[in-house]
Amino acid sequence: MTLEPELIEAIERDYTTAPLTSQERVMADYVVKLTQDATRVRPEDHEKLRAAGFDDKAILQITLIASWFNYINRVADALGVGRE
């Protein structure tokens, strides 16, 4: 998304107050919901993404990328990768 250190810090601190575009905010809200509890994702969430300008292919890509990161982080955590 960006290499701007200030924006990265703002997102890490609290993405809801970071200076994101409305489209980026809708995507971030979706990804957070997916990450916290994917069973809560509903068709209405996909409609919000569509209303923000994402087509079905983009929604699939957002879902796959977020899910892959969630998966790989859980695998790494379970195996102790990165722990000292």
pLDDT at 82: 82
Return phi, psi of residue 41, to 5°.
-70, 130
58 within domain boundaries: yes
Tell me the residue type at 65: I
pLDDT at 83: 78
Contact predicate 26/52, CB 8 Å: yes
36 within domain boundaries: yes
Reading the chain (84 residues) residue by residue, the pLDDT tens digits are: 567 899 999 999 999 999 999 999 999 999 999 999 999 999 999 999 999 999 999 999 999 999 999 999 999 999 999 877
pLDDT at 3: 76
Tell me the residue type at 51: A
84 within domain boundaries: no
Please name the helix (run of DSSP H) or strand (run of DSSP E) that holds residue 58, with its range, or none: helix 56-79
22 within domain boundaries: yes
Domain of residue 74 covers: 5-79
Which CATH number characterizes residue 41's domain?
1.20.1290.10
pLDDT at 2: 60
What is the count of structural domains for the chain?
A: 1
